[in-house]
Structure 1
Amino acid sequence: MVLIGVKGMAWFMTGSLSVMASLVDSLMDAAASLINLLAVRYSLKRADQDHQFGHGKAESLAGLGQACFIAGSAIFLLMHAVERLNHPQPLQAINVGLWVMVFAIGATLVLLAFQGYVIKRTNSSAIRADALHYKTDLLTNIATICALFFVASGWPLLDPLGALAIACYILYSAWQIGLEAMQVLMDRELPEETRQRICDIVLAHGTVLGIHDLRTRQSGQTMHIQLHLDLDQGLPLAEAHRVADEVEYAIMASFPQADVIIHQDPRNPARYRRNPLECQELPKIPPG
């Protein structure tokens, strides 16, 4: 709210369209952050009878809504930038606008540092989307400073042109946030390095022969992991269950927010050959 008030004052004093672009961006930030707050709180609700996998995808829905907010603000800026190009207006108190933008950059850097800490602790997709938007704020603020500087140097058309550039970048940011939210909603697999790490953890257990049918997805802060363990068919049921539990605990030690489901498949060790591409689909070998 402090940034919105300061930028609003700067826009009123300067009349700069680039400053207005930054102001609109901050207004969208505030609306999107409010949506994220509500979404994150809802996503943390315990699983219930109607939502037995939890409410984590509320974060991705918030990210999709945030992308729409951002795209709307960009279109608004594009319209005003085109109008200003057709009807140029002189700017005033440019120094005030420059100092306000420098202040905005400093405040944004502090906020991004805090969000980075939260993302490492929670892996929240909603906060990650919010942080991506604030990263674009840094570029828009820098672009605004450049536009004001050139206007002060006698290039007035660079103010609406700077607003056009900012609007295009905001649209690109909206596309990135919306695409990431859609991928989560469509249950995209986790990154390959994460899948490989899961495989390494599983295969580090001395009793496990191999792994196949690894399936992963992210839902809010919860990582869903499903896999099949290849075990010696001669193991007693209780022993096989103990091995599966140990593998599950090992995975959850590295991924505390994971929901792990393991199926055990009996294999003949004398006939079993492990696929060297551990995380890829392994051929199913009939027991016996």
Structure 2
Amino acid sequence: MIKLIIKKFVKNYNDVENKYVRESYGILSGILGILCNLFLFGLKLTIGLIMNSIAIISDAFNNLSDMGTSIVTILGVKMSNSLPDEEHPFGHGRIEYISSLIVSFIIMLVGFELLKSSVDKIRNPEEVIFNPILMLILLMSILVKIWMFSYNSYIGKTINSSINKATAADSLNDVIATSAVILSTVIQRYVNAPVDGFVGVLVSLIIIYTGFNISKDTVNILLGQSPSEETVEKVCSFIQKNEYIIGIHDLRIHDYGPGRSIGSVHVELLDSLELVHAHSIVDKIEKDIMSQTGIDIVIHVDPVGKVSKI
């Protein structure tokens, strides 16, 4: 279904390296997230108030926070495509990572607030009013989150979006959380204990853990983590397959946002090569790497008199 929606609303959807296509993907996923989460918030809040369940109400506000993250997703994607300027010559792609960080903070904040409410519910338990019809509706709401996990995973992989991958992980945790809420509400009927409050605590801890993991991964990128071994091997293979290259060292790759990697590397060429010839060699390698990997790399030539052992 998501593929049909993408074909309908994303122009040139196959050109995922194009920043405007990426923007269309991000806006589409954000709008879908807003609509789905707003629907789930209203549905669960109504059910939670009728049944007097803190666990269900907590789950509702979890969906409301997800709606907020969808809004942040749209803003992040739009801002990350802003043109480079004098103060930001490499563009604004890292705004997408900052957006992911904001998403993680919102998730953790909601988790802590729900944890506080759930603990209060344990200390001062109240009767949960069981309603089988409302429970069936709540059970069906899980299907919405499963679909949201599916489309965010697909878009995240398609355009390599940290925001969508984070949202997909959050949607999967929402499925687990809602399932636990439903189970606790059923159990509450048969035991004389504040199960509703304890499950509320469990749900809030899941939410906090999800936010922490998202923030940890995003901070690593913003701090300049090393490129993956796969990326290093791919770049090195493009360089080494050229017959004139004797050695490679000092490869550096910097991530300025999805699809915006800039790097530099030193290559060794025989000092007997003419300058124009050496320039044409590295120029071709730079263009090949850019076209095949999307990495804008600058190659520095080190002339050597003999084959390097490095």
Question: TM-score of the superposition, structure 1-length normalised?
Answer: 0.87
Q: Which amino acid aligns with 1:83?
A: D
Matched, 1:248 2:293: no
What does the per-residue CA deviation read over 1:61-112, in whole Å, with 9 as the maximum and x for residues that have no partner? Answer: 2122122211111111111111111111111244345334433321122222
Give the 5 Å matches for 1:4-83. Answer: 4-83=41-120
Give the 5 Å matches for 1:102-181. Answer: 102-154=139-191, 156-181=193-218
RMSD over aligned CA atoms reads 2.0
Q: Which amino acid aligns with 1:267?
A: V
**Residues 1:248 and 1:100: Cα distance change in structure 2 (over 3 Å):** farther
**Residues 1:94 and 1:155: Cα distance change in structure 2 (over 3 Å):** farther
Q: Secondary structure at the match of 2:91?
A: coil
- Higher mean alpha-carbon deviation, 233-242 vs 78-87, is at 233-242
Which residue of structure 2 aligns with residue 95 of structure 1? 132
Q: Secondary structure at the match of 1:230?
A: strand
**Residues 1:140 and 1:201: Cα distance change in structure 2 (over 3 Å):** farther
Unaligned runs of at least 5 residues, structure 1: 275-288
What does the per-residue CA deviation read over 1:135-175, in whole Å, with 9 as the maximum and x for residues that have no partner? Answer: 22122122222222322343652211111111111111111
The answer on whether the counterparts of 1:28 and 1:69 sit within 8 Å (CA) in structure 2 is: yes
After TM superposition, give the deviation of residue 247 of structure 1 in Å. 2.0
Which residue of structure 2 aligns with residue 273 of structure 1? 309
What does the per-residue CA deviation read over 1:180-238, in whole Å, with 9 as the maximum and x for residues that have no partner? Answer: 22112212122223222322232222322222111123222112222222222222222
What does the per-residue CA deviation read over 1:12-62, in whole Å, with 9 as the maximum and x for residues that have no partner? Answer: 222222211211111111111111210111001121222101001111221
Identity of aligned residues (%): 24
Runs of 4+, deviation exceeding 4 Å: none
Matched, 1:261 2:298: yes
Distance 2:178 2:87 in 1: 45
The answer on whether the counterparts of 1:101 and 1:142 sit within 8 Å (CA) in structure 2 is: no
Distance 2:243 2:140 in 1: 57
Distance 1:101 1:204 in 2: 58
Distance 1:102 1:240 in 2: 66
- Higher mean alpha-carbon deviation, 10-19 vs 241-250, is at 241-250
Unaligned runs of at least 5 residues, structure 2: 1-37
- Higher mean alpha-carbon deviation, 192-201 vs 43-52, is at 192-201
Distance 1:199 1:264 in 2: 15
More helix by share: 2
The answer on whether the counterparts of 1:57 and 1:185 sit within 8 Å (CA) in structure 2 is: yes
Of 207, 213, 219, 1:182 maps to 219
**Residues 1:104 and 1:220: Cα distance change in structure 2 (over 3 Å):** farther
Question: Which protein, 1 or 2, shows the higher relative CO under an 8 Å CA cutoff with sep ≥ 6?
Answer: 1
How many pairs were matched up?
Answer: 272
Question: TM-score of the superposition, structure 2-length normalised?
Answer: 0.81
Q: Which amino acid aligns with 1:38?
A: L
